[in-house]
Amino acid sequence: MAKTEPAAEFDAFADNYDSELQKGLVLSGEGKDYFAAGRMRWLSSQLAALGEHPRRALDFGCGTGSATPFFFDHLGIETLVGMDPSEKSLEVARDTWTAYPVAFSAHLDAADQPPFDLAFCNGVFHHIPREFRAGALSDIFRNLRPGGLFAFWENNPWNPVTRYAMHRVPFDRDAILIWPHEARRLLRAAGFTILRTDYVFFFPRFAAALRGLEPSLRWLPLGGQYLVLAGKPSALPDHS
């Protein structure tokens, strides 16, 4: 795997990751599971629209594995590999998610395993120093099967609430956010085809009655997060 960030940064938060993250999420009135489920539901709908039903998935930068059950509950995958450089986070993940067919590893090596149908990351690349982002994307690209998909989720720099929320979270405070156009450029440079960019999570809990509007607002760059859905070259067209 390409060098990314010092694993010790997240080793220090392995035992209290959720409580530290909640310092930022509290502004939305929701907890991490609301957003984890929302990301997976949104991704599931986009995959269904493409006629894609991935069976083998990679959670790149999985941390303590908190997204694990949502891969199975919302995407219907059969096997999952979670990769993260923080060994302490992986220890927590292995102890927590024993009921699922998931393997956790600090390394990603195509020679050791079959290719993935789907790769996924959430809020990972803003922690990777700029000079190592291309290498990390190359690792993901190499480990996908031809025609495989990559769901690249990031926090949206256009959203001022997102910026403020990140400032409240110790491990996000110094992160270097990635603008959507930059994400697409990096993905193309790694060989990916861009399929779509969606903005999600517009309304906090006190405005939950308006959340039904969010699918129609996916084009508006003000959601708290964005998804760039990309593919390893196949017959899929570029709709960017």
What are residue 153's phi and psi, to 5 degrees?
A: -100, 135
One pLDDT digit (tens) per residue for the chain, 240 residues: 344 444 556 666 656 666 666 676 777 888 889 999 999 999 999 999 999 999 999 999 999 999 999 999 999 999 999 999 999 999 999 999 999 999 999 988 755 688 999 999 999 999 999 999 999 999 999 999 999 999 999 999 999 988 877 787 776 778 889 999 999 999 999 999 999 999 999 999 999 999 999 999 999 999 999 999 999 997 545 555
Half-sphere exposure of 168 (CA within 13 A, CB side): 16
* Cβ contact 89:17 at 8 Å: yes
- Contacts from 180-185 at CB under 8 Å and sequence distance 24+? 180/154, 180/156, 180/221, 180/226, 180/228, 183/125, 183/152, 183/154, 183/226, 183/228, 184/228, 184/240
Q: Please state whether beta strands 193-200 and 225-231 pair in parallel, antiparallel, or not at all (unpaired).
A: antiparallel
Output the 3-class SS for the chain.
CCCCCCCHHHHCCCCCHHHHHHHHHHHHCCCHHHHHHHHHHHHHHHHHHCCCCCCEEEEECCCCCCCHHHHHHHHCCCEEEEECCCHHHHHHHHHHCCCCCEEEECCCCHHHCCCEEEEEEECCHHHCCHHHHHHHHHHHHHHEEEEEEEEEEEECCCCHHHHHHHHCCCCCCCCCCCCHHHHHHHHHHCCCEEEEEEEECCCCHHHHHHHHHHHHHCCCCCCCEEEEEEECCCCCCCCC
Is domain 8-222 given the CATH code 3.30.70.990 in the classification?
no
Other Cβ atoms less than 10 A from the Cβ of 157: the count is 18
Q: What is the pTM of this model?
A: 0.90
One-letter amino acid of 198: D
- The pLDDT, as a whole number, for residue 166 is 78
CA gap 187, 70 in Å, rounded: 25
- 111 and 83 Cβ atoms separated by less than 8 Å: no
How far is residue 134 from each of residues 6, 68, 137, 188, measured CA to CA in Å? 17, 26, 5, 10
For residue 209, the model assigns a pLDDT of 96
Rg (CA), the chain: 17
